């Protein structure tokens, strides 16, 4: 059961229930950091990393909360965890991998405000995932985010060279593009490879 | 009641634990930076224009700190910024005249077009199509490659279809000079008022066919200038900004109006009359001298 379940979770997080196109989480960095494909790639990788780690740690925090019957505090406790985690990663990268640190730049602290990260922590609880399932869901959810933002950034790079009406320049055309990709991702809904 | 106490305790304790971990991590992962680095960076213009050739202002500050870049590497910060950085670094600030960018083309409407270019609105892309839509291989294309390169809103394509620098806003960062595929943008002193606005290095007859306002290398300006400040070099007039005193005589003498400031027709007439009078006076003087000389010989 375990492996097929994990594969189903991965497929769901990347395609059918993509965080951006199906659940509409993490739209802010998705629109803000998608002007260039290489920065989009950096942002996607950083988010993947943080989402995986956040799923693991919030799993532990949630056990404490459930034991003390404090489930209503999940949101605030998870935000605390995520903020601390991002801070810690920033310090760690600055010391150990300065090249990656400079490449990510401002996007690293911005992950704190990425609702997809909070979303993955809350969804893990909602879906009653165990530890391994939580981590897999976090990492693959991040990969789904990476796929979405990279696809979107490459399309946005191309639309810059297109001739469209003045009133559509900039954000309007970006939003229309995002909508169209979301429609395309709708095609994945109902996809079921392994009967569960 | 218990729930509230537990809630406060759990959140407080988790926050405390994370706080302690972060405090320890800050000590372990501490990266020592030179205290001069943020000081230098604050003295730079902060536009991240890339004119210095380094990736952003942070890159430039680091290069200055390591002695790889001169203290006046940041053109937008100007002499003031260079002096500040020099003080931080303990070096002498080099004094320099304020320079600005200038576009050496006044073709636009008078420039003959070979074909209508329909495509990506970029000068670089346009030059790749059969050598560009303008018949003049040296002229401004007017698609605004420089306009988008400028971080300071200091260069715009004017109503004639030629890029024009607003020298009050220009910081001489050099981004437009890099962006122009025809290398039409040059560095000039801020005080300079007279410019040859043409870069066409073809011979006179060929130039006349492609542009009404182009330099035909006739040399009238060279002969008019009394300060030896303008010379025809490679079929185009070039001003020596060290010698030029902005008298605008060359601009009035130019038959093609290729030199800025472009004179009004009245000014031109007046100048021509004055030149004629001067020439007549000279011939009269010469004649008088000639008639005086034989008298002396006798």
Q: Cβ–Cβ of B120/A161 closer than 8 Å?
A: yes
Structure tokens at B77: 């910060």
b/e sequence A67-98, b meaning 16+ C-beta within 10 Å: eeebeebbeebbebbbbbbbbbbbbebbeeee
Percentage of chain B beyond pLDDT 70 is 96
Q: Could you write out the three-class secondary structure of chain B? A: CHHHHHHHHHHHHHHHHHHHHHHHHHHHCCCCCCCHHHHHHHHCCCCCCCCCCCCHHHHHHHHHHCCCCCCCCCCCCHHHHHHHHHHHHCCCCCCCCCEEEEECCCCHHHECECCCCCCCCCHHHHHCCCCCCECCCCCCCCCCHHHHHCCCCCEEECCCCCEEECCCCCCCCCHHHHHCCCCCEEEEECCCCCEECCCCCCCHHHHHHHECCCCCCCCHHHHHCCCCCEEEECCEEEECCCCCCCCCHHHHHCCCCCEECCCCHHHHHHHHHHHHHHHHHHHHHHHHHHHHHHHHHC
Clarify whether residues B162 and B105 are in a common domain.
Answer: yes
Clarify whether residues B205 and B235 are in a common domain.
Answer: yes
B165 contact partners, CB below 8 Å, separation of at least 6: B100, B101, B102, B103, B154, B155, B176, B185
Q: Does residue B1 lie within any of the structural domains?
A: no
| Distance between A66 CA and the closest CA of chain B, angstroms | 12
Which pLDDT band holds residue A35 (cuts at 50, 70, 90)?
confident
Q: Which pLDDT does position B73 carry in this prediction?
A: 81
Q: Which pLDDT does position B295 carry in this prediction?
A: 58
CATH of the domain at B200: 3.30.70.20
Q: Cβ–Cβ of A92/B22 closer than 8 Å?
A: no
Q: Does residue B269 lie within any of the structural domains?
A: no
Domain count for chain B? 3
DSSP assignment of A70-94: -GGGHHHHHHHHHHHHHHHHHHHHH
B236 strand-pairing partners:
B233
Q: Is the pLDDT of residue A134 over 90?
A: yes
Clarify whether residues B48 and B85 are in a common domain.
Answer: yes
Nearest CA in chain B to A163: B120
Q: Is the pLDDT of residue A68 over 90?
A: no
Q: Cβ–Cβ of B11/A88 closer than 8 Å?
A: no
Q: Which pLDDT does position B113 carry in this prediction?
A: 86
**Eight-state DSSP code of residue A59:** H
Structure tokens at B105: 């083309």
Least CB-CB distance to B31: which of A64, A70, A95? Answer: A95
Clarify whether residues B80 and B164 are in a common domain.
Answer: no
Q: Which pLDDT does position B66 carry in this prediction?
A: 84
Which among A123, A153, A104, A111 has a CA at the least distance from the CA of A26?
A: A111
Q: Which pLDDT does position B96 carry in this prediction?
A: 65
Clarify whether residues B157 and B167 are in a common domain.
Answer: yes
Least CB-CB distance to B29: which of A68, A81, A94? Answer: A94
Q: What is the mean pLDDT of chain B?
A: 85
Q: Does residue B107 lie within any of the structural domains?
A: yes
- Residue B71 sits at φ, ψ, to 5 deg, of -65, -20
Residues of A in contact with B30 (CB under 8 A): 95
Q: Cβ–Cβ of A77/B14 closer than 8 Å?
A: yes
Q: Cβ–Cβ of A91/B26 closer than 8 Å?
A: yes
Residues of A in contact with B31 (CB under 8 A): 94-95, 98
Q: Is B8 an 8 Å CB contact of chain A? A: no
**Which of B25, B56, B119 would you mutate first to test chain A, the one with the most A CBs within 10 A?**
B25
Look at residue A190 and give its three-state secondary structure.
Answer: coil
CATH of the domain at B78: 1.10.15
Q: Which of B129, B158, B191 is the last residue of a domain?
A: B191
Is B219:B230 a contact under the CB 8 Å cutoff?
no
Q: Which pLDDT does position A135 carry in this prediction?
A: 93
- Residue B67 sits at φ, ψ, to 5 deg, of 75, 10
Q: Is B227 an 8 Å CB contact of chain A? A: no
Residues of B in contact with A96 (CB under 8 A): 29
Clarify whether residues B104 and B185 are in a common domain.
Answer: yes
Least CB-CB distance to B22: which of A65, A69, A84? Answer: A84
State pLDDT tens for residues B85-114.
888 887 766 656 778 899 999 888 888 888
State pLDDT tens for residues A150-193.
999 999 998 888 888 888 888 899 999 999 999 998 888 877 66
Q: Cβ–Cβ of A91/B7 closer than 8 Å?
A: no
Which pLDDT band holds residue A147 (cuts at 50, 70, 90)?
very high
| Distance between A166 CA and the closest CA of chain B, angstroms | 14
State pLDDT tens for residues A83-126.
888 888 888 888 887 777 776 677 778 787 788 888 999 999 99
Q: Cβ–Cβ of A88/B6 closer than 8 Å?
A: no
Clarify whether residues B73 and B105 are in a common domain.
Answer: no
Question: What is the Cα B166 distance to its own chain's centre?
Answer: 10
Q: What is the ipTM of this complex?
A: 0.71
Work out how many CB contacts closer than 8 A connect A with B: 46
Q: Does residue B171 lie within any of the structural domains?
A: yes
Clarify whether residues B107 and B48 are in a common domain.
Answer: no
Q: Is B2 an 8 Å CB contact of chain A? A: no
Q: Which pLDDT does position A152 carry in this prediction?
A: 93
Residues of B in contact with A70 (CB under 8 A): 3, 6-7, 10
Cβ–Cβ contacts within 10 Å for residue B161, how many? 17
**Which of B8, B22, B27 would you mutate first to test chain A, the one with the most A CBs within 10 A?**
B22
Q: Does residue B226 lie within any of the structural domains?
A: yes
Residues in chain B, pLDDT under 50 = 298
Look at residue A103 and give its three-state secondary structure.
Answer: helix
Q: Does residue B44 lie within any of the structural domains?
A: yes
Residues spanned by the domain of B258 = 193-263
Q: Does residue B72 lie within any of the structural domains?
A: yes
Q: Which pLDDT does position B235 carry in this prediction?
A: 87
Q: Which of B152, B175, B191 is the last residue of a domain?
A: B191
Q: Which of B131, B165, B191 is the last residue of a domain?
A: B191
> What's the distance, Cα to Cα, between the start and end of chain B in Å?
134
A67 contact partners, CB below 8 Å, separation of at least 6: none
Clarify whether residues B186 and B201 are in a common domain.
Answer: no
| Distance between B122 CA and the closest CA of chain A, angstroms | 9
Clarify whether residues B160 and B198 are in a common domain.
Answer: no
Clarify whether residues B166 and B126 are in a common domain.
Answer: yes
Q: Cβ–Cβ of A96/B22 closer than 8 Å?
A: no
Clarify whether residues B157 and B208 are in a common domain.
Answer: no
Q: Does residue B122 lie within any of the structural domains?
A: yes
Structure tokens at A21: 């196109």
Predicted structure pTM score: 0.52
Q: How far is the C-alpha of A103 from the C-alpha of A83, rounded, in Å? A: 20
Residues of B in contact with A164 (CB under 8 A): none
Q: Which pLDDT does position A1 carry in this prediction?
A: 56
């Amino acid at each position: 059961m375990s492996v097929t379940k994990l594969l189903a979770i991965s497929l769901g997080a990347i395609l059918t229930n993509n965080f951006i196109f199906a659940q509409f989480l993490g739209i802010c960095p998705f629109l803000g950091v998608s002007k260039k494909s290489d920065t989009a790639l950096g942002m996607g990788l950083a988010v993947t990393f943080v989402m995986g780690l956040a799923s693991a740690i919030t799993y532990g925090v949630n056990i404490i909360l459930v034991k003390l019957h404090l489930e209503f505090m999940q949101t605030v406790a998870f935000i605390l965890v995520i903020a601390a985690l991002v801070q810690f990663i920033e310090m760690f990268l600055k010391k150990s991998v300065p090249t990656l640190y400079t490449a990510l730049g401002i996007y690293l602290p911005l992950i704190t405000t990425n609702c997809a990260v909070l979303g993955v922590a809350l969804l893990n609880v909602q879906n009653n995932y165990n530890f391994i399932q939580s981590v897999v869901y976090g990492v693959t959810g991040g990969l789904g985010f990476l796929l979405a933002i990279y696809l979107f950034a490459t399309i946005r790079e191309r639309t810059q060279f297109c001739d469209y009406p003045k009133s559509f320049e900039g954000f309007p055309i970006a939003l229309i593009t995002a909508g169209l990709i979301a429609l395309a991702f709708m095609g994945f809904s109902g996809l079921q490879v392994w009967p569960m | 009641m218990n729930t509230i106490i537990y809630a406060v305790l759990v959140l407080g304790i988790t926050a405390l634990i994370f706080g302690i971990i972060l405090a320890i991590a800050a000590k372990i992962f501490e990266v020592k930076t030179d205290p001069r680095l943020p000081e230098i960076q604050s003295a730079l213009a902060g536009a991240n224009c890339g004119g210095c050739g380094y990736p952003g202002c942070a890159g430039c500050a680091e290069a200055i700190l390591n002695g790889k870049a001169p203290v006046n590497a940041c053109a937008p910060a100007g002499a003031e910024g260079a002096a500040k950085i020099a003080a931080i670094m303990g070096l002498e600030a080099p004094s320099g005249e304020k320079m600005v960018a200038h576009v050496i083309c006044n073709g636009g409407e008078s420039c003959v077009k070979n074909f209508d270019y329909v495509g990506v609105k970029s000068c670089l892309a346009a030059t790749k199509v059969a050598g560009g839509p303008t018949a003049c291989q040296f002229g401004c294309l007017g698609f605004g490659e420089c306009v988008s390169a400028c971080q300071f809103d200091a260069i715009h394509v004017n109503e004639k279809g030629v890029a024009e620098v607003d020298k009050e806003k220009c910081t001489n960062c050099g981004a437009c000079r890099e962006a122009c595929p025809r290398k039409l943008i040059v560095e000039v002193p801020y005080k300079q008022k007279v410019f040859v606005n043409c870069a066409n290095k073809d011979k006179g007859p060929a130039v006349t066919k492609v542009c009404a306002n182009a330099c035909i290398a006739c040399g009238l300006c060279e002969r008019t200038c009394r300060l030896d400040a303008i010379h025809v070099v490679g079929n185009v007039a070039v001003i020596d900004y060290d010698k030029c005193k902005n008298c605008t005589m060359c601009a009035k003498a130019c038959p093609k109006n290729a030199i800025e400031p472009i004179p009004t027709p009245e000014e031109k007439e007046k100048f021509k009359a004055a030149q004629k009078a001067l020439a007549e006076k000279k011939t009269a003087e010469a004649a008088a001298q000639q008639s005086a000389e034989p008298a002396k010989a006798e």
